[in-house]
Amino acid sequence: MNAQGTIMRFDPVTGKDFASIHVGPNGGWCSVEALPNGRYLIATMNNGQIREIDAAGAVHWTITMQGAFRATRLPSGNTLVASMTTRLIAEFDRDGNKRWEKTCEGRPWSIRYR
């Protein structure tokens, strides 16, 4: 995703471009994760939004967390989110309820399930 808020999709093997998805300016740090259902999980720090969108850009799920700029979907269906500004990592369920949170000593730059 670029700073203008466009997710650019392409095939790195063939170099073929696919239709891009415009989600609006992010104006800061952000992340995009392709989900198995064909949707995308995006996190944008400027507005603290985590959204699940489809290929047309329609929003199917959203939560907010101050400074959120990384998100990943867990096998349980919950979402793990990292905030650089608050130094928090938190897990949210599909209803948007915070299940737990942990304050890091420094800024969390990456999160992943293992």
Domain total in the chain: 1
The token duo for 5 is 């808020």
Q: By three-state DSSP, how is residue 16 classified?
A: coil
The band of 113, judged by pLDDT with boundaries at 50, 70 and 90, is confident
The answer to whether residue 114 sits within a structural domain is no
The band of 7, judged by pLDDT with boundaries at 50, 70 and 90, is confident
The answer to whether residue 46 sits within a structural domain is yes
Tell me if 32 sits within 8 A of 42, measured CB to CB: yes
* Per-position b or e across 24-35, b if 16+ CB within 10 A of its CB: eebeebbbbbee
The answer to whether residue 109 sits within a structural domain is no
Q: How far is CA 14 from the centre of its chain?
A: 26
The answer to whether residue 72 sits within a structural domain is yes
The band of 10, judged by pLDDT with boundaries at 50, 70 and 90, is confident
The answer to whether residue 112 sits within a structural domain is no
The answer to whether residue 88 sits within a structural domain is yes
> pLDDT (tens digit, 9 = 90+) per residue, 58-112?
999 999 999 999 999 999 999 999 999 999 999 999 999 999 999 999 999 888 8
Residue 82 belongs to domain spanning: 6-103
The answer to whether residue 111 sits within a structural domain is no
CATH number for position 72: 2.40.10.480
Q: By three-state DSSP, how is residue 89 classified?
A: strand
> pLDDT (tens digit, 9 = 90+) per residue, 32-63?
999 999 999 999 988 899 999 999 999 999 99
Tokens 């420094």 identify what position?
Answer: 106
pTM of the predicted protein model: 0.88
The answer to whether residue 29 sits within a structural domain is yes
